[in-house]
Amino acid sequence: WELFWTANVFSLVLSMYLLVAGRVRRGKNWFKSHSLWEDFWIGPELNPHLFGVDLKFFAYRPGMLGWLAINMSFAWLQYETYGSVSSRMWAYQIMTGWYVIDYFVHETRMTSTWDIVAENYGFMLVWGMYVWAIFLFSIQNLFLWTNTTAMPWWEAAGTATLFLTGFTIFRGCNSQKHRFKMDKDCLIWGQPAQSIKGKLLVSGYWGYARHVNYLGDLTLAVAYSLPCGFRSVLPWFYFCYLLLLLLHRDRRDERKCGAKYGELWEQYCLTVPYRIVPWVY
């Protein structure tokens, strides 16, 4: 609990600093620009820096490492309590550990993601990375550390297949988008990248759905929860939260992209009619 409350206090202090520093740097009348609440919650700046460090981009590091540390501490707790680590705990640790390691391997590709290029940095993202991601994403551990029942082979195989499918979509579509932003003439699935006016990618995964990366995220969330079983809905909190978040973000992205690209976005929607799940939604 000490770590939890410390992270909350730190998030609040950092958000207050971002509010004041952002408004000072912006140099506008404090009461005639955005509301104080909006600048506190969403943030007054896109990529604020402190001592040369991009605070938003940096926040992913303690967020990811904190999530990994919490996960590993529960695995150690199970080992200390029962003398071994269950197959269910191993499955969860391997999947989430793989995800965190992959983040650091491909960290530079985060520079082309929506959070970095479009979301201001305020309390919403600060608290999200320093508290929510660390302490809430690891909620499955509360049910795994006391569950020593072995996973049958078919359950392990199904979980692994789902994880690998979700990871392939997640890493594949984000890598394709990053390559396209770096080089409009790149190859995707062995073919020259196709786009609308060189701005909106319609090749590879992005030819199937406009926010296909969300499908990868959701598939991974299901895989993380499967080792917990279905005795309680709480281990599925992460998936339910992510589903609501991404559905909301999908609608918000559609509005922002429509305003940004205009007729190009309308043409893109005709070319790629599905939003997240191909042939479904």
pLDDT digits (tens, 9 = 90+) for 11-57: 999 999 898 888 787 655 444 456 778 888 888 888 888 888 889 98
Are 208 and 254 a contacting pair, CB within 8 Å?
A: no
Average pLDDT, the chain: 89
Using a pLDDT cut of 90, give the percent of the chain over it.
56
DSSP string, the chain: -HHHHHHHHHHHHHHHHHHHHHHHHHTS-TTTSS-HHHHHHT-S-SS-EETTEEHHHHHHHHHHHHHHHHHHHHHHHHHHHHSS--HHHHHHHHHHHHHHHHHHHTGGGGGGSHHHHH---SHHHHHIIIIIIIIITTTTHHHHTT--PPPPHHHHHHHHHHHHHHHHHHHHHHHHHHHHHH-TT-EETTEE--EETTTEE-SGGGGT-TTHHHHHHHHHHHHHHGGG-SS-SGGGHHHHHHHHHHHHHHHHHHHHHHHHHTHHHHHHHHHS--SSSTTT-
Q: How far apart are CA 16 and CA 123, in angstroms?
A: 8
pLDDT of res. 31: 47
Read off the pTM.
0.86
- Mean pLDDT to the nearest integer, 93-101: 95
- Mean pLDDT to the nearest integer, 195-215: 92
Distance linking the first and last C-alpha atoms of the chain? 41
Q: How far apart are CA 168 and CA 90, in angstroms?
A: 21
CB atoms within 10 A of CB 190: 5
Tokens of 184: 């409009």
Give the pairing type, strands 53-54 and 49-50. antiparallel
Tokens of 68: 């990994």
pLDDT in tens, 57-79: 898 999 999 999 999 999 999 99
Q: Residue 207 above 80 pLDDT?
A: yes
Tokens 């955005």 belong to which residue? 34
pLDDT of res. 197: 87
pLDDT in tens, 105-138: 988 877 777 777 778 888 889 998 899 889 888 9
Residue 243: is it exposed, middle or buried by C-beta count within 10 angstroms (0-12/13-18/19+)?
middle
Using a pLDDT cut of 70, give the percent of the chain over it.
97
User: What's the pLDDT band for 273 if we cut at 50, 70, 90?
Assistant: very high
- Mean pLDDT to the nearest integer, 199-215: 93
Amino acid letter, 150: A
Are 137 and 236 a contacting pair, CB within 8 Å?
A: no
pLDDT of res. 27: 59
pLDDT of res. 100: 95
- Mean pLDDT to the nearest integer, 196-217: 92
